[in-house]
Structure 1
Amino acid sequence: MPRYRLHCVGASGNSFKVAQFLDCAAIDWEPIGVDFAGGQTRDPIWRATTNEMGEIPVLEVDGRRLSQSGAILGWLAETHGLFAPSNAEERFEAMRWLLFDNHRFTGGFAAHRILYSMTAEPPHAEVLAYVRRRAQGALSIVERHLADRRFVLGDRPTIVDFSLAGYLYYPADETGFDLRTAFPAIDAWRWRIAALPRWRPPYEAMPVGNSLALFRHAAHEVPE
């Protein structure tokens, strides 16, 4: 059995942040499906045994269960000496961008995706517009930052890239954003990450769990 087991679902961009690291670092791992749509993460037993915060991803390793994607990425980088910040200045920048990602970038983009395609009923138009403006604002910040950089911290990929890119490989009809047209610097950057050896797209890396039941009109809009 692989040392690393990632509790996840294919639609979870936060889980994919960790999956990208594991694949690109050539680490042997296996995905463990979670019945997210069925409420497994709300189950008291699951929370008591897997993650008291009731969230995925959870990385199971040597009897430990690690949660929160940013913290997991930091632990993996330190443990394996890969994709880590190289000095004190980069460590500060990495923390700064990881916090921005969790608070604004992923927070806004993932919230828009849920409202756009993953709720039982269409969202209120004004609510969706508000969330979209917030997501666009965060995307614009990263777009400007990447205009003259290959990766977020410079010329080489780090855990910050995996974190920020976690939700950016899902189909446009699922996220509601055509990144290639609207954010060309982000689009070029995400495909530089995807060109790393052993990288796989999210539904291929994590073909597990129950998340698609959340999609509106799932009978004819299931992501490819």
Structure 2
Amino acid sequence: MSEPKHTLHYFPQSGNSYKVGLALNCAGIPWNAEKVDYFGGETRTDQWRSSVNEMGEVPVLEVDGRKLTQSGSILLHLAQETGKFGGATTAEAEEILRWILFDNHKFTSYLATYRWMKTFMQPAPHEEVLKFFKARVDGALAIAGKHLETNSFVVGNQVTIADFSMAGYLFYPAEEFGFNVRETHPAIGRWLNRLQSLPGWKAPYELFV
């Protein structure tokens, strides 16, 4: 059996890595996992930046010698490579990109920053800083929740890479956020349940170790 041609550089707490790993799994693509010592500073070394990703970030997906970075761009690549999760029409493909851009700018960006500061940052930030970001999280969740009240998925009637992008951080344990999004936003909870029914779905700390 030939070796998988996809290798994902990740660390388990990275929701952006999880987006890509989940898309690979649900698309049925064999892949290797290469754990990165993010907390030990590996991605900030000159060696990492010169040989893996000049931006000093994960995820990085190696595909036949190419190194792809930025989760949104990687998801677009996977949709084009596999013909899965990319939308049924040109209009849907454009709508997928719209929601991925929203996710990267207003949804994941605030969720990830708030979770990082609340759970992993040492020393912990000032309480007012947390309150500021929590307000931004609440606003982003309200937009997504309202959209999902009348839509089964983010775009169209089937799962797309927009769903993987938007859900990237929401499957992490509620205690890492200090609130349970399934309880505070029932429409988001129902959407997450639909995603969990996908063949290949795994929770972050089951997919990554």
Sort the TM-score into its range (normalised by shorter chain): over 0.9
2:150 is matched with which residue: 131, 148, 151? Answer: 148
Tell whether 2:55 aligns with 1:30.
no
Distance 1:52 1:123 in 2: 28
Matched to 1:73, the amino acid is L
Give unpaired runs (5+ residues) of structure 1: 208-224
TM-score, normalised relative to structure 1: 0.91
SS of the residue 2:68 aligns to: strand
Aligned to 1:216: none
Structure 1 runs, 4 residues or longer, greater than 6 Å off: none
The within-5 A match list for 1:167-182 is 167-182=169-184
Report Cα offsets for 1:82-109 as digits up to 9, x if no partner. Answer: 0012212112211110100000000010
Aligned to 2:62: 60
Deviation at 1:170, TM superposition (A): 0.7
Deviation at 1:123, TM superposition (A): 1.8
Distance 1:88 1:18 in 2: 22
Aligned to 1:102: 104
Is the CA contact 2:145–2:188 (under 8 Å) kept in the aligned structure 1?
yes
Give aligned-pair identity as a percent. Answer: 48
- RMSD, matched Cα: 0.8
Aligned to 1:214: none
Give unpaired runs (5+ residues) of structure 2: none
2:124 is matched with which residue: 114, 122, 125? Answer: 122
Distance 1:175 1:30 in 2: 29
Higher relative CO (Cα under 8 Å, sequence separation at least 6) belongs to 1
Aligned to 2:206: 204
Report the count of equivalent residues: 207
Distance 2:101 2:182 in 1: 25
Tell whether 2:72 aligns with 1:73.
no
